[in-house]
Amino acid sequence: MPSKGVLRKAENYGCAVAVSLFAAMLNPQRRGQNWDWANLPKEAGEDAEATVLLSVCVPPRDESKIKRVAVEAARREAERLLKRSDILAWWPN
């Protein structure tokens, strides 16, 4: 079982991925024509899962737990960003 500090790092990493993706997608050149803001939580979770082990070093036995924590945090943060910004209601597609 990973330590609380390592779990916190994975959670912080997931949140950072979501915030970074949200900010990047505000630029029309980054998101492309087919971008849908409703996909932000899914995309953030996928990005966090793919990259968290580059920043949070753990033994192989803990990798799935760390990925799960990062994915959940990324999705949760992306949903929070969408809700607080209300971007789904006002952003032109």
The beta strands (E) that lie in 8-83 are given as none
Instruction: Show the domain range for 31.
Output: 4-90
Quote the number of domains for the chain: 1
Cβ count within 10 A of residue 9:
20
Distance between alpha carbon 24 and the CA centroid of its chain, in Å? 12
Q: How far is CA 18 from CA 14, 27, 43, 61, in A?
A: 6, 15, 8, 26
Dist CA 73 CA 1 (whole Å): 18
Q: What local confidence, expressed as pLDDT, does residue 89 receive?
A: 87
Q: What local confidence, expressed as pLDDT, does residue 59 receive?
A: 94
- The first and second tokens of residue 41, run together, are 């939580």
Q: Which residue has the higher pLDDT, 12 or 92?
A: 12
Express each pLDDT in 13-59 by its tens digit: 999 999 999 999 999 888 888 889 999 999 999 999 999 999 999 99
